A and B are shown apart, each in its own frame.
Chain A
Amino acid sequence: MPAYAYFPGCSLEASAKEFDTSFRAVFDKIGVGLKEIPDWSCCGSSQVHKVDKDVATAIAGRNLVLASDIGDIVAPCAFCSISLKEAIIKLEHEGPIRSTLIEAGLEYLPGSVSVISAVEATYRAVEEGLIDGKVQSPLTGLKVAAYYGCLLVRPPKIAQFDDPENPSSMERIMVAVGAAPVDWSHKTECCGNAYIFVNKDMTLNLVRDVLNAAIEANADAVVTACPLCQQNLAMRQPHMKQNYGLKREIPVLYFTQLMGAAMNIDGQQLGLSGNIVRLINKRQQEAKEVG
């Protein structure tokens, strides 16, 4: 069984735990192993980068070293995957940071490990035919807006995956589980990041624009692959409807939750609410009736 070194990241241990459980469940189902990196630490994130970029590279580098015995890293959170990818590029040339790592008992060997996001790992699995035969309950009739946000595909020199302005890998994944991706305008617009805590008004304006674009494209749900995107988009919809001109409420899920539903994985394990399960069933029923 192929296996990745799994880097959950801080959010997947807490606020985004359904991303963790659904990703693990789907990969278990398709027979791709995820071995959690022992004693992993923070990826460096954009906040550490802004305080000291070399410290950010060093702490990301620690995870690269810890993973190198296991295999290539898969990091679901968009911030984590981009931070770890950037560290690989930086550490090629940054001798002093490699020395810092050695002093902490960690020897980094350039080229020893690579990093991909959960979307990339899943896309590869789809291309390799690993999900064939696993989709027992295709999400027929369910219209989804695939939302990438920023860092899954940007900056392209670091992400090195898909198109930075008009990506399509998540659409490919959604088609593979029977859903119908919509064509829409805001796939890679920013959700406002952690600035929901700093400048709430700004962030809610950004989120409203993304959600209204998905609603205008007639989507039943938005699928995401980043903890901050999912939470910013999902959490304040009643408030935004009342005060920010949000057209209607719309479910926002991790793409792995919908994949799991199509693979008949238990809804509780996926963190899916009863409302979503009913919506999926309703669309499947409608599709059957149309024939």
Chain B
Amino acid sequence: MGASVQLRSIDMDLKKEIERLSGQKLDACYLCGKCSAGCPVAPYQDIPPHVVMRMAQWGSKKVLGSKMIWNCASCGTCYTRCPNNIDVARVCGALSQISRREGLVADKVAATLREKFVESVKNNGRVHELSLVVAMKMASRDYLGDLDIGIPMFLKGKFPLFGHKIKDLNNFQKLFDSKKKGDK
């Protein structure tokens, strides 16, 4: 995916959806590039964050197929330095949600991490790290990688076989049906 975007018109529906899910004002971005200059993961991605912002401003569907939106590490460097107070990680988060819904996920392993993490939280109230690690090893097909680390950790009791389930799981799970602004 190149850095230049050619579009005839702005897809306002997509743009509004990104703004709603991210809580960020996309037009506040004037493309100074500070986010990309400081982004630790940008050198390893297809497009840098300020290009994500530009494509989001245009409501370009192409951005939904980018790897960058899945690999944002939420480090907060861009948000810290943005002269216009935009949390770019939230924009990447919103885009990844839409990309999943539309079946345009460019990094399936990153999507699995998110899915398994949230599943573990929802089912137990807390994350069970061992289940998550095993799921990630399966997803990335790195079955034997890091066994030299994992086995000693297991032996030190750092990977308990069973996770802790919270007591009030029933009420906790109600929180996943969170009300939105405008809901009745």
Contact = CB atoms under 8 A, between A and B. Distances in A.
A197 B140 contact: yes
Interface of B: 21-23, 40-41, 44, 70-71, 73-77, 79-80, 87, 89-90, 92-93, 96-97, 107, 109-110, 113-114, 117-118, 121, 125-130, 133, 136-137, 140, 142, 145-146, 149, 153, 157-160, 164, 166-168, 171-172, 174-181, 183
A195 B140 contact: no
A46 B121 CA distance: 12
Given A50-B93, A53-B23, A190-B40, A100 B76 contact: no
A13 to B, nearest CB: 6
The 3 closest A-B CB pairs, nearest first, are A50-B93, A154-B76, A150-B75
Given A39-B167, A47-B114, A202-B41, 13 more contacts: A10-B127, A14-B160, A17-B158, A39-B125, A41-B172, A82-B76, A96-B178, A99-B179, A100-B174, A155-B79, A155-B87, A198-B140, A201-B44
B118 A51 contact: yes
A50 B77 contact: no
30 contacts: A10-B128, A13-B164, A14-B129, A14-B130, A17-B158, A39-B125, A39-B167, A42-B125, A46-B89, A47-B113, A47-B118, A48-B121, A49-B93, A50-B92, A50-B114, A59-B121, A61-B175, A96-B181, A97-B178, A100-B174, A100-B175, A105-B171, A151-B74, A165-B80, A190-B40, A197-B113, A199-B44, A199-B110, A201-B44, A235-B146
Contacts of B160: 13-14
Interface in A128-154: 149-151, 154
Interface of A: 10-11, 13-17, 39-42, 45-55, 57-59, 61-62, 82, 94, 96-97, 99-101, 103-106, 149-151, 154-156, 164-165, 188-190, 192-195, 197-202, 205-206, 235-236
Nearest to B175: A58
Contacts of B149: 235-236
Given A150-B75, A236-B149, A194 B113 contact: yes
